[in-house]
Structure 1
Amino acid sequence: EFRLFWTELRGTMLFFYDDKKAPTYSHKLDISALTSVTSIYPNENDSAQFILMLLNEKLEVKADNCEHGKEWKGFILTVTKLLVPLDESLSPEQLTRIREVLDKEKKRRVMLNDCSSTSQNKESLSSKDYSSTVTAMPACFYAVSRKEAIEMLENNPLCGNLILRPGSDSKNYAITIRHMLEAPCIKHYRVISRERSYIIELERQVTVKSLQDVISYFVIQTHGNLKPFIMQTRKEALQTDQSSESKTQEKS
């Protein structure tokens, strides 16, 4: 039987939430090894259904609407194959959104590759190592500049107030935060990548083992006042008529 989840697509990861207001996902799925997407004809309720075939797993997904399901399928194919799917039924508006996702995904991968190469002392990564590195990146990582990070935080305050981004030297990382005192305050912190650790440059340096630990440090030290910035725009691919959020039903 199908289970209902509220779903996000971030890069090549699907995140499933039990409730649309849940602060954390219940489980996630890496779709970078996607081999095919097979559509199943719409049923009498006008829903869309398709099967995601991975190397060692099959996932059956149902969207609440044919158009939303078609666009959702387009997003999945785009981020995994790095090309816009040849689907004549996609509208110009849908194609525009899909092309925007493609541009962002290409940029994200370039920045991840640059940062990963640096953290590995510029040694070449095997495909398995690269996949692990991509998967391990925190959800609040965005391949953006300092200025772009500030704009994202200012324009989308409900999405969170902490962004992890590449450093200005493209070798290390930086944290950009926006928090409210008497007025909004923007701060930036440098995160230095070492062979097996990361150093947060504060008045007293803090060393942690992973980038996720970097995020956790800021969240814990501020008692949850800092929240990872998670952009929700890709949920639009599965909007319902009653909500601006998106939902899928999953059967494995």
Structure 2
Amino acid sequence: QGYQRVWAGLRGLKLAFYRMPQDQEPLEVLDLGELVTVQAEGGALVLRLKGQEVTMKVESWETQEMWRGFIFTMAKMRMPQDLALLPGHNVQLLEALREERERRGTPVSPASPVVPSCFFQVTRDEAERLLEQSAGRGNLLLRPGGHGQGFSVTTRQQLDGTARIKHYKVKKEDQGYVIDGETQHRCSSLADVVQFFVRWSKGSLQPLDPEYSTHL
């Protein structure tokens, strides 16, 4: 049908195609920095890049969705909103996004704050999704604040059968951190910020286990 059987590997913005899985030299490498769209069309995955269009077919619909998710996420540095994946696959995608953001970011300096294990390099929307998909592993996480300012805490609780999600701003000050709410609370460290929410909720809020993905 005009298709060539190849193996593909994705590393950051480079999508490489190989004749055999053990090959070191790729047949072709696509620069996903040139990606305009990636869409499922007619049982295939169509990548539209600037000046080029590539059509891929994979063995199953689930695998196609995974490829679409990873390609879009690496190219745009955010997850697509219309993915139809199992929770475990979404978690893999979020973890890949976190690692890629760290890889592209600047090295952490000694002066950078020590972050608790429940800190995730995710956006507000990604934090909500992550807590929803990791029920039972924790319902509180720490993340970067909006517009690169400070930090934020995202929580998710089931109250009367309804999921209630809240976001709290955490500001950095000379002597520590301030949780911005109806009443401001000062903490000496980010770990203290997390523990404040645990104490304030009488234990109903618990930090998200960073090892959750290995159990899914």
- Could you tell me the TM-score, scaled by structure 1's length? 0.44
Alpha-carbon distance in structure 2 between the residues aligned to 1:196 and 1:179: 31
Q: Which one of the candidate residues 161, 169, 177 is aligned to 1:198? A: 177
Q: Which one of the candidate residues 210, 216, 223 is aligned to 2:202? A: 223
- Please report how far the alpha carbon of residue 203 of structure 1 lies from its aligned counterpart in structure 2 after TM superposition: 1.1
RMSD in angstroms over aligned alpha carbons? 3.3
SS of aligned partner of 2:117? coil
**Counterpart residue number, 2:186:** 207
- Please report how far the alpha carbon of residue 200 of structure 1 lies from its aligned counterpart in structure 2 after TM superposition: 0.2
SS of aligned partner of 1:104? helix
For 1:153, give the aligned amino acid: L
Q: Which one of the candidate residues 118, 140, 155 is aligned to 1:162? A: 140
What is the 5 A alignment of 1:18-167?
Answer: 103-108=97-102, 125=109, 128-130=110-112, 133=113, 136-167=114-145
Alpha-carbon distance in structure 2 between the residues aligned to 1:227 and 1:106: 27
Alpha-carbon distance in structure 2 between the residues aligned to 1:180 and 1:232: 22
Alpha-carbon distance in structure 2 between the residues aligned to 1:103 and 1:143: 8
1:185 and 2:179 are equivalent in the alignment:
no
Deviations 1:205-245 (A, max 9, x none): 00111000000000011111000012435536xxxxxxx7x
- Please report how far the alpha carbon of residue 163 of structure 1 lies from its aligned counterpart in structure 2 after TM superposition: 1.0
| Identity over aligned pairs, percent | 31
- Mind listing any 5+ residue stretches in structure 1 that lack a counterpart? 1-87, 89-95, 117-124, 237-243, 245-252
CA shift in 2, pair 1:187/1:181, >3 Å: same
- Mind listing any 5+ residue stretches in structure 2 that lack a counterpart? 1-21, 23-69, 71-88
SS of aligned partner of 1:157? coil
Alpha-carbon distance in structure 2 between the residues aligned to 1:166 and 1:175: 9
1:232 and 2:211 are equivalent in the alignment:
yes
Contact 1:111/1:143, CA 8 A, preserved across alignment: no
- Please report how far the alpha carbon of residue 111 of structure 1 lies from its aligned counterpart in structure 2 after TM superposition: 6.8
- Please report how far the alpha carbon of residue 141 of structure 1 lies from its aligned counterpart in structure 2 after TM superposition: 0.6
Contact 1:159/1:230, CA 8 A, preserved across alignment: yes
For 1:142, give the aligned amino acid: F
Which structure has more relative contact order (CA 8 Å, sep 6+)? It is 1
CA shift in 2, pair 1:173/1:129, >3 Å: closer
Contact 2:177/2:187, CA 8 A, preserved across alignment: yes
For 1:232, give the aligned amino acid: E
